[in-house]
């Protein structure tokens, strides 16, 4: 390509005969059914464009699903924060099934109260 | 084109009516196969339809549509080259170069002698390098200006003129025995 540069000759005799021959070539035309075939392809193209627009309309739905997921995660996190930390319940206590309940002797307390 | 960009589909039909024959002529001379040329012309109009918003009136519409057609034609030639390369294994040794033969279907009632001459010219055109053929067809067959060809091909004016001259010289050498040019 570089060898082509800076060799801009003008239209001279050289090759002018070839030019005349080429100009004399008959003009090739599109077939008679060209418009019909093009219309068919354009109809397909329009359908394809509608389909692609349709698929684009799914994007907001997809976004809202993701948004809902994020909101749900954030919501659960906030709830967990309030339940576990703000209320003073440690995760160990929350998850421990054995809660220590001080045993109060049922009979003794009644006797004591009655004794008063 | 402005009307078409504004949503007027009749304007698109007008564009098709105006450019289908010049593009068919250009692509047939460049590709050498009528059916392929028609496919590329159709694809060109589909691209125009699809990319109508990308056209800016700062460029001539003819330049824009020829650029699309030319790029698609080059893609088609690359595809052919790839197909040829892939099918090399199937070719027998000694087979000559695969040369596209001019399709005669577009004018069956053409006189035999002029049809033969035309076929010879078309074969000569197809046998010169693609980079020369493209500019020669645009200049000598489509009769576009150097400036337009420069814009379509993305080459400098000097390169366009140089390629045209070299291509013509090669073509003349190929045709001199047959045509006595």
Give percent helix, percent strand, percent coil of chain B, each to the nearest 5: 75, 0, 25
Are the CB atoms for B121 and A21 separated by under 8 Å?
yes
Given this model, what pLDDT does residue A88 score? Answer: 67
Identify the DSSP state of B128: S
**Pairwise CB contact (< 8 Å): A15 & B164:** yes
Interface of B with A in 32-71 (CB under 8 A): 34, 37-38, 41-42, 45-46, 49-50
Q: What is the mean pLDDT of residues B72-80?
A: 93
pLDDT digits (tens, 9 = 90+) for B21-65: 999 999 999 999 999 999 999 999 999 998 888 887 777 899 999
Q: ipTM > 0.90?
A: no
Interface of B with A in 65-94 (CB under 8 A): none
Alpha carbon of residue B175 to chain centroid: 20
The average confidence (pLDDT) of chain B is 85
């Amino acid at each position: 390509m570089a060898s082509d540069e800076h060799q801009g000759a003008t239209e001279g005799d050289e090759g002018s005969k070839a030019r005349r021959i080429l100009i004399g070539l008959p003009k090739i035309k599109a077939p008679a059914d060209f418009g019909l075939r093009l219309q068919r392809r354009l109809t397909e193209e329009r359908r394809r464009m509608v389909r692609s627009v349709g698929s684009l309309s799914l994007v907001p739905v997809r976004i809202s699903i993701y948004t809902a997921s994020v909101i749900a995660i954030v919501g659960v996190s906030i709830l967990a924060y309030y339940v576990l930390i703000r209320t003073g319940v440690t995760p160990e206590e929350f998850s421990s099934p054995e809660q220590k309940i001080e045993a109060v002797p049922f009979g003794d307390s009644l006797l004591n109260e009655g004794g008063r | 084109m402005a009307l078409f960009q504004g949503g007027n589909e009749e304007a698109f039909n007008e564009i098709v009516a105006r450019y289908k024959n010049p593009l068919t002529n250009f692509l047939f001379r460049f590709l050498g196969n009528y059916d392929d040329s028609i496919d590329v012309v159709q694809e060109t109009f589909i691209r125009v339809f699809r990319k109508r918003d990308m056209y800016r009136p700062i460029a001539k519409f003819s330049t824009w549509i020829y650029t699309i057609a030319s790029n698609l034609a080059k893609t088609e030639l690359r595809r052919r080259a790839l197909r040829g390369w892939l099918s090399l294994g199937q070719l027998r040794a000694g087979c000559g170069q695969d040369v596209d033969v001019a399709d005669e279907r577009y004018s069956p009632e053409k006189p035999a002698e002029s049809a033969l001459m035309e076929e010879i010219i078309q074969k000569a055109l197809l046998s010169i390098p693609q980079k020369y053929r493209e500019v020669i067809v645009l200049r000598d067959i489509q009769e576009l200006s150097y400036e337009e060809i420069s814009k379509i091909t993305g080459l400098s004016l000097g390169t366009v003129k140089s390629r045209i001259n070299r291509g013509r010289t090669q073509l003349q050498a190929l045709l001199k025995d047959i045509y006595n040019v």
